[in-house]
Structure 1
Amino acid sequence: MPYSEVVRPSDPVEAVLFLTRLPLRWPLPNPRGARASWAWPLAGAVVGALAAAGASLALAAGLPPNVAAALALVVQAFATGALHEDGLADSADGLWGGSTRERRLEIMRDSRIGSYGAVALVLSLLIRWSAVLALLAQGATWGPLIAAGALSRWSPPAMLWALRPAREGGLSRLIGRPAGATLALGGATAVLVALLATGLAAASAVLWVGLVTLAWGLLVRARLGGQTGDTCGAAQQLAEMAALLALLA
């Protein structure tokens, strides 16, 4: 595959526009979808940096670390429009709320949140808040949040590459399937960002993100027969938790 087909200068901008709600004004006449997913870790690094900036400002203002950790998550949610949290909630409701593949997909289309989705959101927020709080207590703010943001944004492209779409319509089918070279470049980008942000501590985070993504992909394939946009968003949330906990450990 020609290098120009794998990488284009506009890909990082497209990644930020797609994965965040940041008020950028940048025309993209020909969006590349999954072909630009190698740059999704860069968008994740931006979100992580914004969260770290929010936590640092809170600490500088004299707020306690527990409040600073909460504000970091607030910044993340506003920056992304809670896109991945929504996917986690819908995936939890569908995968555990339905007894058949068709019923699970039907539940995931429903915008209302059920008990499984609510529990998943609460646990995700609690785990991430606890991890960020502990990292702040250790004096680590920028590096872990940037590394976790980058590494976790590799998981959705991995899902798109490994699994076929579970339904005919939907966002994941519209985005398409990344090529193997695109996925590999995205992985290398995520690892490089993590290494620059946290040093060799990134190795354990890379390992756990890979294992969690693999386990989630196998579960999704078993229960849905393929991926959806919601399950890709859920993969990001699970990978971020794994990365934060690995960096904390």
Structure 2
Amino acid sequence: MNPLRRELAYFFGAVRFFTRLPVPAWVCHSPEALNHSARYFPLVGLVVGLIGALTFAFASFFFPKTLAVLLAMAATLLVTGAFHEDGWADMVDGFGGGWTRERTLEIMKDSSIGSYGTIALVLMLLGKFMALVELDMLLVAPALIAGHALSRLCATGLLRFLDYAREEGKAKPLATRLSRGELALAAVFGLVALALLPPAGALAGLVFAVAATAFLARKFARRLGGYTGDCLGATQQLAELAFYFGLLCRFS
């Protein structure tokens, strides 16, 4: 396979794993390919954010800002199948109800959602909705693009700095740590959309997202000794929310 086709296969592999978007039939699935596709997770975020941004722009011609934001969020949820939101809810359930590493992992593996996860999911969706509504009309679309890309870069960072906490699982093929070059490429895709936003706001959003990621990474390392697939999803969600909060910070 030539280098360009191989990199395209890695990108489409990331698209298939993290979204419900169709990919070419020639793209094969393998644990090794999925591991190499990690460098393209933020690029997938750019695609998801762009879909949300286009939905918002189109809906704004017909509906008030609040409904346009709601439809944009719904579009991203539809594209991803609420993949990361599910991870957020499972993580909060596990950390809220588990007092030991083993019990926490057991709860997180359970497909049902508990009270902790339900409350956390409602607050997460409400928080993102309220934050996007509070943004200037012209900033909502670029914020969606940058937020989805940057937050996936934050989650990708865990693959570089933490170990995988389970012996098996959906995210096990991702457990090989990213090289510096792969992380650098991911950073390009994750940071490029910040240029669409005012510098002060983009910097504040970046700081907030990194702080949220560091907070969760510390908790994952202390409680689990590493990350799981749910931890990656939870990191993406909290980093995205934190980014929007940073854009709204009075000091940005």
Deviates more, 1:125-134 or 1:175-184: 175-184
Match of 1:41 in 2: 42
Deviates more, 1:102-111 or 1:167-176: 167-176
- 2:114 alignment partner AA: G
The TM-score with structure 2 as length reference comes to: 0.89
Tell me how far 1:207 sits from its aligned partner. Answer: 2.0
Match of 1:144 in 2: 143
- 2:202 alignment partner AA: A
- What's the Cα RMSD here? 1.9
Match of 1:74 in 2: 74
Tell me how far 1:30 sits from its aligned partner. Answer: 5.8
- 2:197 alignment partner AA: T
Contact 1:34 1:157 in 2 (8 A): no
- 1:44 alignment partner AA: G
Contact 1:160 1:172 in 2 (8 A): no
Structure 2 spans left out of the alignment, 5+ residues = none
The TM-score with structure 1 as length reference comes to: 0.90
Tell me how far 1:163 sits from its aligned partner. Answer: 1.4
- 2:184 alignment partner AA: A
Match of 1:157 in 2: 156
- 1:99 alignment partner AA: W
Contact 2:20 2:80 in 1 (8 A): yes
- 2:91 alignment partner AA: S
What CA deviation, in whole Å up to 9, does each residue of 1:86-113 have, x standing for no partner? Answer: 0000000001111111111110111110
Tell me how far 1:23 sits from its aligned partner. Answer: 2.6
Structure 1 residue ranges, 4+ long, deviating more than 6 angstroms after superposition: none
Match of 1:98 in 2: 98
Tell me how far 1:48 sits from its aligned partner. Answer: 0.8
Q: Structure 2 matches for 1:123-202, cutoff 5 A?
A: 123-135=123-135, 137-177=136-176, 178-195=178-195, 197-200=196-199, 201-202=201-202
- Please state whether the residue corresponding to 1:139 is helix, strand or coil: helix
Q: Structure 2 matches for 1:20-59, cutoff 5 A?
A: 20-29=19-28, 31=30, 32-59=33-60
Contact 2:220 2:231 in 1 (8 A): yes
Deviates more, 1:222-231 or 1:137-146: 137-146
Contact 2:65 2:137 in 1 (8 A): no
Distance 2:69 2:240 in 1: 15
Contact 1:33 1:176 in 2 (8 A): no
- 1:34 alignment partner AA: N
Tell me how far 1:67 sits from its aligned partner. Answer: 1.3
Identity score, percent: 37
Match of 1:237 in 2: 237
What CA deviation, in whole Å up to 9, does each residue of 1:192-226 have, x standing for no partner? Answer: 2322x225242222222222111110011111111
Tell me how far 1:157 sits from its aligned partner. Answer: 1.6
Structure 1 spans left out of the alignment, 5+ residues = none
